[in-house]
Amino acid sequence: MPEVMVEVEVRAAQNVLEACAQTDTMERVVFTSSVTAVVWKDGHKLVDAFDERNWSDLAFCRKFKLWHALAKTLSEKTAWALAMDRGVDMVAINAGLLTGPGLTNAHPYLKGAPDMYEDGVLVTVDADFLADAHMAVYESPTAYGRYLCFNNAVCRPEDAAEFAQMISPSAPHSAPSDELKVIPQRIQNKKLNKLMVEFASAIYGDLD
């Protein structure tokens, strides 16, 4: 994602929120953002655990040319500002890297992936879980604010090897070394998990 696309994405967010604000029948907006709008800032290695309260730093993203993170952070901030100004009921989902057919190591989310792995914040989400999360935050009357959304954290050497194989299937890969350590996970999505359990319980009754 080149720098010019940052402005394009911000304008798109602005146009969508303006359209929603002008639609009388709009009940709630679910804005899809990214984990990259959460984890990039000076001192990020010192954060004990990232959650929805964290924001990526714009100057940090520009300095290291993290255009995907910059675009997602700016567009989400723009959306929140407009939602509050226009009285739009908005909830944001900050999704991990969406896995599936067509994913390659050229995906702009993966700029800085080695650092994300070493920091314990390299997370992915599959399409089914992401769709379920969107449904839960849209339908749940108690949903509010931002929700980190992922169902896999790449923290073990074998996870990293499997992830590398997935994004670069034609590249040669070696088995993970026994000397490689497990990276502590430093990002959590307890807020979303709690909401999804409550939503499922409301629909299907007590799952026990």
Q: Is the pLDDT of residue 184 over 90?
A: yes
Q: Is the pLDDT of residue 179 over 80?
A: no
- What pLDDT sits at residue 109? 95
Stretch 142-160: mean pLDDT: 95
Q: At what angle do helices 4-21 and 67-86 cross, to 10 degrees?
A: 20
Given the structure tokens 């402005």, which residue do they identify?
7
Which of the residues 72, 181, 190, 191 is marked catalytic?
A: 72
CA distances 172 to 42, 72, 103, 179, Å, are 34, 32, 17, 20
**Does residue 72 carry a catalytic annotation?**
yes
Token pair for residue 150? 């992922």
Architecture of domain 2-205: 3-Layer(aba) Sandwich (3.40)
> CA 28, CA 138: separation in Å to the nearest integer?
7
- Which tens digit of pLDDT belongs to each residue from 83-128? 999 999 999 999 999 998 889 999 999 999 999 999 999 999 999 9
Q: Is the pLDDT of residue 1 over 90?
A: no
- Which tens digit of pLDDT belongs to each residue from 40-64? 998 877 788 999 999 999 999 999 9
Q: Is the pLDDT of residue 33 over 60?
A: yes
> CA 4, CA 155: separation in Å to the nearest integer?
33
Token pair for residue 67? 């255009």
- What pLDDT sits at residue 206? 59
146's CB contacts (< 8 A; 6+ apart) are: 33, 52, 91, 92, 93, 94
Confidence band of 177 (pLDDT split at 50, 70, 90)? low
Confidence band of 173 (pLDDT split at 50, 70, 90)? low
